[in-house]
Amino acid sequence: MARKSKTYSDLIKLAKTYGVEKNALFVQAAEQYSVQQLVIQRIKNELQKEEELMTSKEYIKGRENIYVNPLVKELPKHADSANKTLSTMLEIITKLGSPPKPTGKLEEMMKDE
């Protein structure tokens, strides 16, 4: 599976502290982001396999047309979509969750015991 970025894992931790890690909207957005990351990783792997990103096709009368691999255009679209999903996850956390209450030094010391 694709390696998740630090930002994603930070959002998951933040969701836990805000108490929305089991919220249906958040879970759905997290699953969508995982799928998007998988697609992005597959596109990157395919592009790395290709020796050249350009390809040519020969048509009637020997004319040659040069094309760029279609995955080159798809990668930014999927990356942008993944960024929007992360933004949605952050919005869900901040709007539907409640920030953790600040703890004092005495409470922190009591937790350690």
All residues at 6 or more sequence positions from 68 whose CB lies less than 8 Å from its CB, including other chains: 53, 54, 55
Q: How many helices (H) and strands (E) does the chain have?
A: 4, 2
Q: What is the DSSP letter of 3?
A: P
How do beta strands 54-58 and 64-68 pair?
antiparallel
- Over residues 7-33, the pLDDT tens digits come to 788 888 889 999 999 999 999 999 999
Identify the segments of the chain with pLDDT beneath 70: 1-6, 103-104, 107-113
CA–CA separation, 52 vs 32, rounded Å?
31
All residues at 6 or more sequence positions from 5 whose CB lies less than 8 Å from its CB, including other chains: 37
In the chain, what are the domain boundaries? 6-112
